[in-house]
Chains A and B, each alone.
Chain A
């Protein structure tokens, strides 16, 4: 199966601190294929979250960081890391879901509508449709359609995380970033989200950090293995997990370190 590239990381070197002797990401290059799930795996501290947060310029919020290289969004050829690009514009195109569910202290409806409202959309019928559509995509509609005005904090952890996914979907991002989206959830909610990720990729390209190798094996099409800021291996998940090319990858997935 030949897939289109949705985003392409080209020689990305990144440091949190300009003076740091060693960059946190070291000339990473990686394709992200359209309508597929790409998993980022690797031992703690290897730079998975750092790489993910380059995709929506989250680092820019916390002072002077240093990007070198490019992340090109296709088909527009838009360079996410370019100095001329406004990070807000990037975040309008690239959605993100965090490790811990972080619904706003608003109603379920307003949580999903938030991204539309900040874009200045006011038309109620449009927002209504989008809220319903996003909740359906996130597999939450049936559970909440009778209490959209209720507070989001009354939902369970797993429901809150699906709400956060719905919130990110409402603005139709080109790319969806998930940073360990199930690490704060129980096994049933986790299975639910994994299933959902499999469904969602039909509509949006997904890049997901995970610590759970089974999850990466089950839920992803491609896997990238990182180690100490280097991208060690990238390939189809079936290949990376059954027949890794690199020794480090093999050691990691067989549990010999990490």
Chain B
């Protein structure tokens, strides 16, 4: 009797601990969002929403402060787009190679190398972009500034390739052999089979890979902070300097802004905008996946 009671008690205790562990991550997320919102809220009392959305300059720390978020948003979109132009095609092509063409031995050899690409600290990529890629690109585009969106975006793209390729490869390898045989038996080449049957069949997995890649690109900080120039500029010129939301946040959090000042609150405002960005992409990704899964099922 006593024994049974003790056992029930431990069971309950374990259950409680597990619940707390699971709840903590949810709580922390809520706490972050709560802080962001409360800290950012007073900002909009001082800066009108109109200026925030339609102004094209972002100079919160200057005498004549301007708060046009569009400058940072366009910088973020620019570097993200450049990165995705590299990461998505190369990631998918790498995945096709690994899943459809490579022998087991080649795959065993290549995959750890790719993962190494993801394990390099991003600050190293930042300097790689600034000290190697930019000078190289300047030989091709003499007008390229020393800090520019192009090399930051390209290097960020290379950095994200393994994320795309690894998830996409998993999705492609999960495509049943019978579908490949169906295609090959109709006289399709391996290439046609890969691109017309395997990729569409693995679409939902590839879409998740894309969403992850976008989130990584939008959230990436070091590479753009180092190589793109910390100069907020509205527009989409890849050859000039630019600044992203994340780079701005590191830049100003290093200075000592007085707590509660408008400048200080911009950090939280940018945080919210970033959060909205990734949230949107995640929702889009989820929707695409659900729709495709329904179609495939």
Residues in chain A within 8 A of chain B (CB atoms): 56, 58, 61, 88-89, 91-92, 95-96, 98, 100, 102-106, 114-115, 117-119, 151, 153, 164, 167-168, 171
Contacts and interface: CB of A to CB of B under 8 A. Distances in A.
Contacts of A171: 186-187
A102 B200 contact: no
Contact of B189 (A88, A164, A167): A88
Interface string B197-231: 10011000000000000000000000000000000
25 contacts: A58-B181, A58-B184, A61-B181, A88-B187, A88-B189, A91-B187, A92-B187, A96-B185, A98-B185, A100-B178, A102-B176, A104-B179, A104-B197, A105-B179, A114-B186, A114-B188, A114-B196, A117-B196, A118-B187, A119-B187, A153-B295, A153-B296, A153-B297, A168-B186, A171-B186
Nearest to B296: A105
B183 A56 contact: no
A105 B200 contact: yes
Contact of A118 (B176, B178, B181, B186): B186
Q: Tell me the dominant secondary structure on chain B's binding face.
A: helix
Contacts of B185: 56, 58, 91, 95-96, 98, 168
Interface residues of B, number: 20
Contacts, number: 69
B251 interface: no
A106 B295 CA distance: 8
A167 B186 contact: yes
Given A58-B181, A98-B181, A118-B192, A106 B186 contact: no
Given A91-B187, A104-B197, A168-B185, 16 more contacts: A58-B181, A58-B185, A91-B184, A98-B178, A98-B181, A98-B185, A102-B182, A104-B182, A104-B183, A105-B179, A105-B296, A114-B188, A115-B187, A118-B189, A118-B196, A167-B182
B288 to A, nearest CB: 14
A171 B183 CA distance: 13
A151 B296 CA distance: 8
A104 B201 contact: yes
Contacts of B296: 105, 151, 153
A64 to B, nearest CB: 12
Nearest to A170: B186
Contact of B181 (A102, A103, A115, A167): A102
A114 B185 CA distance: 11
Contacts of B187: 88-89, 91-92, 115, 118-119, 171
Contacts of A151: 295-296
